[in-house]
């Protein structure tokens, strides 16, 4: 899914190690300028915010500031751990608009 929005906040980067290897990601909050319609076709949410984990090489080199207008590809991941489900939104492609 591709969105265009404005970075509202850049959160502290996260890193560590797991049994699957090392990880590093840069969380950001992005507010979309689009309006998403409800299933019944009525007016939906405007200026919806997403928390997105920037991953890959882009995360380590991330230097964008709050207020920057961007276009990014979002990927949605769902995993189960200890009987609970977790959802994560990531992007490894961000363009300044």
Condensed to tens digits (0 to 9), the pLDDT of residues 8-29 reads: 999 999 999 988 889 999 999 9
Please state the pTM of the whole predicted model: 0.82
Question: Could you tell me the two tokens for 40?
Answer: 């019944």
Burial class for 59, CB neighbours closer than 10 Å (0-12, 13-18, 19+) = buried
- Summarised one tens digit per residue, pLDDT across range 20-76 is 889 999 999 999 877 767 777 676 667 788 899 999 888 999 999 999 999 999 999
């Amino acid at each position: 899914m591709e969105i265009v929005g404005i970075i509202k906040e850049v959160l502290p980067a996260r890193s560590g190690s797991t049994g699957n290897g090392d990880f590093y990601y840069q969380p950001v909050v992005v507010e979309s300028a689009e309006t998403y319609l409800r299933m019944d076709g009525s007016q939906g949410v405007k200026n919806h915010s997403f928390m997105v984990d920037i991953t890959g090489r882009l995360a380590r080199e991330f230097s964008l500031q709050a207020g920057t207008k961007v276009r990014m590809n979002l990927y949605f991941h769902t995993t189960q751990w200890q009987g609970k489900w977790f959802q994560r939104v990531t992007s490894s492609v961000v363009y300044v608009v």
